[in-house]
Amino acid sequence: MLASLDPLTLMVFTILVSSLLAGLMLLMWGAHRNDRCFLIWASSNASYAVGWALFVLRYKTGINFFTLPLANLFLIACPILALEGLIASLRIEVGRHRWWLFSCGVPYVLLMWHFQDSNAMPKILGGIITGMTSLAIAVYLGRLEQRRSLPVLLLIMVNLLSAGTLFFRAGYNYAYIDAAIAPQQRQVFIWTLLVLITAMIMQSLIFPLQVFLRSEDWLRKLALRDPLTEVSNRRAFMEDGHAELLRTLRGNGELSVLMLDIDHFKRINDCHGHATGDRVLKELAAECRRSLRNFDLIGRLGGEEFAVLLPQTGIVTAELVAERLRGAIASLNLTGRDDKPIPLTVSIGVSALEPHQTQIESMLALADAALYRAKESGRNRVCSNVEKLQSDVS
Active site residues: 304
Per-residue CA distances from 67 to 140, 142, 167, 222, 323 (Å): 29, 33, 21, 50, 73
Query: Helices marked H in the chain — which ranges?
Result: 7-31, 37-61, 67-90, 105-114, 121-142, 150-175, 185-224, 234-251, 265-272, 274-291, 315-330, 360-376, 385-393
Angle of CA points 168, 101, 135, to nearest 5°: 30
Q: Distance between CA atoms of 55 and 63, rounded to whole angstroms? A: 10
Quickly list DSSP for 127-175.
HHHHHHHHHHHHHHHHTSTTTTSHHHHHHHHHHHHHHHHHHHHHHHHHH
SS3 66: coil
SS3 387: helix
SS3 206: helix
Q: What per-residue string of b and e applies to 117-133 under the rule 16 or more CB within 10 Å gives b?
A: eeebbbbbbbbbbbbbb
